[in-house]
Structure 1
C-alpha cells in the first residue's frame, strides 16, 4: 500500500467503529496505518473512546491486556496494554449472552479490583494500590476482536480497545486481606471439562503489579483511575475460544466463583 493510501488515525478508528456496529471484522491495521507506533495505536483507541463518550456511554473502568510474558513475546512487546470499560459492556453473573452480540469471542478468568479512592500520583506503590482498593471479585472477561481471525499484533489490539468485548463480575466482594491475590489458584470449567488453569502469578507476577502499572499509565494519559472504577487486572490462565452455546464457570481460591453463559 502506497503512502498516499495509508490510513489516518480517524480513518482507522472509523473502520473499527463500523466493524463493531456491523459485526463484520476487518483486515489487520498494522500495515495500513500511516504511523504504527504505540502512540499511534492509542490515538486510534482514543478517537473511538471520545466518540463513545459523546454518544453517552459511561466509562466505568479499564482492562489490562498482555499481562502474560509469553503473549508479550508473541506480539513483540515488553509491556501490557489497556482498554476502556463502559457500563454497557457489563453482564450479570450467569446472565445469558447472545453469541450474535459478539464477533469471535474468547473468555479468560481474571481478578477485578474496584477502587475506593482516586489514584492520581505520578508513581504508585503497593501501599497506595492496596489502600485504594475497596474490594476484589472474580471476573470473566469476554474478549473479542474486530480484526478478522484474531490476526493481531500490538498495534491492532491497542487500536481495537485492547480487544475488549464484555465482562462479568462475581457478586461476592472480598477485601484484599481475605485472600492471597498472588498465589490464588484459578480453574475454569466448560461443563465438566477443565479448560483453563492458572494463578495470580500468571498476571505479571501478581495482579497488583498490573494494577500499579495501569494506575501510573492512566495518570500520564490524563485519565487517572477514580473512585468507583473497575480494573480488570489480566488473565490468570490461557484464554478459551467460544464457538457455541456453552457455560463457563470460574473458581478462584479464596475469592469465589463467577459464570458466563452463552446462548
Structure 2
C-alpha cells in the first residue's frame, strides 16, 4: 500500500492536487481511497469540484458536464443505481482529425456518445426528459477519450468521482441536428477499430433515452444550486463499452444519422 497522504478528513485541496498532478504527469497511481479511506461519494464530489476550481485558476474554462456509468450493466458493476456527473473544460476538447496526444494520457479508451448543446438554461429539481429535450439547441455525435489516473482502471466509485469520472478528451462530430429531427432512443452507433466492428448500441443504452441522462444531470446540479447554461455541452454517457486506443490504431464511430468520427491513436 502507498504511503499515507498528509491530509486531514475534509481537506479536499490536497486530494484534488494529487489527482491533478497524476494527470499532469500522465503517471498512474493507486486509488485515492487507499490514502483517504473515509472518502464517501459526497466527499468525492467535493474533491471533484475543488479540482475544477484549480483547473479554472490555471486558465481552463468550464464548458459543460459529462455523465458516467449511464448503462445499467456499468451501474450494477459499481453497485449504484444512477449515473455519476463530472465537469468538462475547454482543455478537454480534441479537434476532429487531430491525433490523440499520447504524451498527455496514461491508458486512453474511447467510447461513442450522443452529445447535447444547450439552447436554454436548465435547472432542477423536477426536470423530466421531455422538458430537458426542449432546452437543447442541437445534437451531435461524440467520442469521449477516458483516461483514469488509477492503475489498470481499478477504483471504487468514490475514487472515480473524485477523478472527474476519468475525464480526458472528447471529439464533437461535425453533423448537428435539432432534437426533434431525431429518434434518439434508436440512434445507432457502430464502433470500429482498425476496420473491424467491435461493438454497437443505440441511444436506448443511455438510461433508456439520452434525454433521461440530461434530466438526471440537470436535477443533480440543481440539488447543488447549479444549472446547465446556454451553450454548454453535455456528454450523455458511453453507448458501448470503451475500447483501448492503441498507438497507431484507428477508431471510428459510425452513427446512423449523426455522421462518423475518426480517432487516430497517435
TM-score normalised by L of structure 1: 0.94
Q: Report 1:194-205 matches (<5 A).
A: 194-205=197-208
Which residue in 2 is equivalent to 1:190? 193
Separation (CA, whole Å) in 1 of partners of 2:168 and 2:199: 19
Structure 1 residues 223 and 245: CA distance shift in structure 2, 3 A: farther
Q: Distance in 1 between matches of 2:97 and 2:200?
A: 20
Where do residues 88-237 of structure 1 align in structure 2 (5 Å cutoff)?
88-237=91-240
Shift of 1:9: 2.2
DSSP-derived class of the 1:149 partner: helix
Inter-partner Cα distance in structure 1 for 2:241 and 2:4:
38
Root mean square deviation of aligned Cα? 1.8
SS in structure 2 at match of 1:97:
coil
Distance between the aligned counterparts of 2:4 and 2:260, measured in 1? 51
CA distance 1:4–1:101, change in 2 (3 Å): closer
Whether 1:77 and 2:80 are equivalent positions in the alignment is yes
After superposition, the C-alpha distances for 1:58-90 in whole angstroms (9 at most, x for unaligned) are 000101000011111111111110111011111
Residues 209-261 of structure 1, C-alpha deviations (whole Å, 9 max, x = no match): 11100011112122311000000001111110122222211111122222222
Q: Which runs of 5+ in 1 are unaligned?
A: none
2:247 corresponding residue in structure 1: 244
> Which region of structure 1 is more displaced relative to structure 2, 216-225 or 162-171?
216-225
Partner of 2:47: 44
Q: Distance in 1 between matches of 2:249 and 2:17?
A: 32
Q: CA 1:225–1:254 in 2, change beyond 3 Å: closer, same or farther?
A: same
CA-CA distance at 1:121 after TM superposition: 3.7
**TM-score after normalising by structure 2:** 0.93
Give the superposition deviation at 1:32. Answer: 2.5
Q: Distance in 1 between matches of 2:154 and 2:60?
A: 28
Stretches of structure 2 lacking an aligned partner (at least 5 in a row): none
Distance 2:105 2:133 in 1: 34
Structure 1 residue 118 displacement after superposition: 0.5
Rate the CA distance shift 1:199–1:4 in 2: closer, same or farther, 3 A.
Answer: closer
Deviation at 1:98, TM superposition (A): 2.1
> Using a 3 Å threshold, how does the CA distance of structure 1 residues 65 and 191 change in structure 2: closer, same or farther?
same
Contact 2:5 2:35 in 1 (8 A): no
Name the CA shift for 1:9/1:141 in 2 (closer, same or farther; >3 Å): same
Distance in 2 of aligned mates of 1:46 and 1:33: 17
Report the CA distance shift for 1:221/1:39 in structure 2 as closer, same or farther (over 3 A): same
